[in-house]
Homo-oligomer: A and B are copies of this chain.
């Protein structure tokens, strides 16, 4: 109970608010739809095609009204999901509580915020189309947007949409803007995966050690992981590795059939597979994406200077490359590490909403 950070004590709860909105003590409201995505059907991991979709509605939103709102699409990070981003923590504000407060304080224009569920059995999809995981990029850009534009009063065009997220969610934002032009007109990547050369190889070694212990039976490793009460940190990083592998170097639609980016027996890097990973690295490919990046109204990057995955380097490389292409970038750094940097949304959300079209 008690006010969260900022000490909002005056609340306007309404009987019309959802339970979740009341638990979050919102001025606006939040809904959860359960939508089915054709893009996710029949995936090898057996993840559901029906997904929750959280939609934040600002105060005064009227489903029958004539006003239309821009939409900020939020992509969660690795191990996140819709339920996770709706969770609250004492003395902290989640992304919904933040946008609600920003709008209530008139620090940004009213907007919808949509939280997309990109979780998989391996912890996350990276929002890419994968022969193994399912087509998560298509799910977001085609199925989710269609659902939102159909059921809510949105500015239903590229100019009315932005995409943002943290960590893998930041990566997803970059990936969708660079490879699926025409859906979003702005992105904010907070501590987003970029410059894989620093971020990813440390995961390889841990995974090589762990999977060797499991005789390279990935299915069994995953099952044991799921069934365990507690797990060592190395098991978590191995799952993270498998999540990325299933996204970047899948081999087929057979469960757990991936190309590993290292040699099983020694652990040394396999440059052929590694090249497939690097083809997803925003820092590597951005120079080939000038048309896609140029059409954006805002390119926002930030990262903590103590990021454990060295993603501050990724953001710097991205910013430098875009500027070399003649594009403006908003690039900020701050003194923090990779975790619990949601307070940065107080910077990015007003910036994103500020460039979008309103009705």
Contact = CB atoms under 8 A, between A and B. Distances in A.
Interface of A: 1-7, 9, 13, 18-20, 22-24, 31-32, 34, 45-48, 51-52, 79-84, 86-91, 117, 119-121, 123, 195, 197-198, 201-202, 204-205, 208-209, 223, 225-230, 265-269, 283, 305-306, 310, 312-313, 316-317, 320, 336, 340, 343
A132 to B, nearest CB: 14
Given A23-B86, A198-B205, 14 more contacts: A1-B48, A1-B81, A1-B117, A2-B48, A2-B226, A5-B227, A19-B32, A22-B34, A23-B52, A23-B83, A84-B88, A230-B336, A230-B340, A266-B320
B268 A195 contact: yes
A343 B2 CA distance: 29
Contacts of A91: 225-226
Contacts of A34: 13, 22
Contacts of A312: 205, 209, 267
A201 B196 CA distance: 12
A20 B88 CA distance: 14
B197 A201 contact: yes
Contact of A88 (B23, B87, B121): B87
Nearest to A13: B34
B198 A202 contact: yes
In the complex this chain forms, how many copies of it are found? 4
A226 B82 CA distance: 26
12 contacts: A1-B81, A2-B120, A6-B227, A7-B226, A13-B34, A23-B52, A84-B89, A91-B226, A230-B336, A230-B340, A265-B320, A267-B312
A149 to B, nearest CB: 22
A123 B90 contact: yes
Given A23-B82, A52-B22, A320-B266, A226 B310 contact: no
A47 B3 CA distance: 8
A317 B268 CA distance: 7
B208 A313 contact: yes
A80 B79 CA distance: 21
A2 B32 contact: no
A136 to B, nearest CB: 12
A84 B1 CA distance: 11
Nearest to A342: B229
B5 A228 contact: yes
A32 B21 CA distance: 12
A290 B209 CA distance: 29
B90 A120 contact: no
B197 A313 contact: no
